[in-house]
Amino acid sequence: MTDEPDLLVDDRNDIRTLTLNRPHRKNAVTWDMWARLRDALIAAGDDPGVRALVLTGAGGAFCSGADVSVLTAGHPARKMRLLTQVASQLQELPMPAIAKVRGVAVGAGWNLALGCDFIVATPESTFAQIFTRRGLSLDLGGSWLLPNLVGLHQAKRLALLAETIDANQARELNLVTWVVPGEEIDLFVDDLATRLASGPPVALAQTKALLNEGASGSLRDALGAEARAQGVNFATVDAPEAFSAFTEKREPRFSGGWALDDLPSKTMAGSRAGENNA
C-alpha cells in the first residue's frame, strides 16, 4: 500500500496519459476511483491542449475490473449510472484514445480498453468477460461493444462462457489492434500517440464520431453526417494547410484553428477602407 493517488495524470507533448494505479489489486477500480476516472475523461475532452489520450495500468496489469471487495453505501442503480458515465465519456472523447494493455484486462477492465479507439497489448496480456463467473452480466458498454466488434455469436461465446483468451486470440477476433513485445510497448504507444497528436484535431474528432455512429446506423444517416462534418472541416485552417503542405512538399502543421477567427477584424478593416474611399 502507498499514499500515491489511485489515478495518475501525466501530460507530455499534447498527449495525456491516465494510469490506473492500484497495482496491489491489479488496478481493480473502486467506486470512488470510477468517479475520478469519469472526471478525468471529462477534463481531457474539454482541454484543447490534449490531442491524444493513453489509458493504461500500473505494475504489470491493465485492469482487473471493478473492485467488488470494497463495499460502499448506495443503491446499485446509482453506482451503475457512474459506470454508464465513464463508458459514455470514453466513447465521446473528441481525441483518439489508446489502451496500453499489459497483463490482465478482465470484466469492466476489458470493456474499458474496448472503449478506446486502439488497443496495444503484449503477448502476455490476457482478456476475459468474467461477469458470469461472478453471477453478473455485462457492463461498461460490453453488450454494445462486443457484438459491434466481433458479431453476435462470438460475443455470446465470450460473454456466456467467460473464457480467458490471450492477446493473439484477441487480435484474431479484432479485439486488439496490435500485439507487440513487452519491452517495445512503451515506444510503440509513444510513437502512435505522437502521430495521432500531430494530426488535424477537428478532422480526427469528426472522423471518430462518424465511425462510431456509422457502425450502428444506416447509409443514409452516414451520408448526411459526413456532409455536415465536411462543412466543419472546411471551416478550419487545417484543410488549406494540408493543401499548402502538399504543394510545398513538406509535412503539414495542424492546429485545429477556426478559419473564421479573424473574420470580424478583416470585415471591419474592409469597412473602414470602404469609408475612406467614399
**pLDDT of amino acid 2:** 58
Check pLDDT > 80 for residue 165: yes
Structural domains in the chain, CATH included, are 7-197 (3.90.226.10), 201-277 (1.10.12.10)
Is 139:108 a contact under the CB 8 Å cutoff? yes
pTM equals: 0.89
Query: Which range (127-141, 160-174, 239-253) has the least confidence?
Result: 239-253
Query: Which range (16-30, 58-72, 241-255) has the least confidence?
Result: 58-72
Chain-wide mean pLDDT for the chain? Answer: 91
Q: What is the mean pLDDT of residues 115-138?
A: 97
Rounded distance between C-alpha atoms, residue 229 and residue 74, angstroms: 42
Indicate the SS3 state at residue 154: helix
Rounded distance between C-alpha atoms, residue 178 and residue 98, angstroms: 11
- The grid coordinates of residue 56 equal 493504461
User: 48, 50, 67: which is closest to 9 by C-alpha?
Assistant: 50
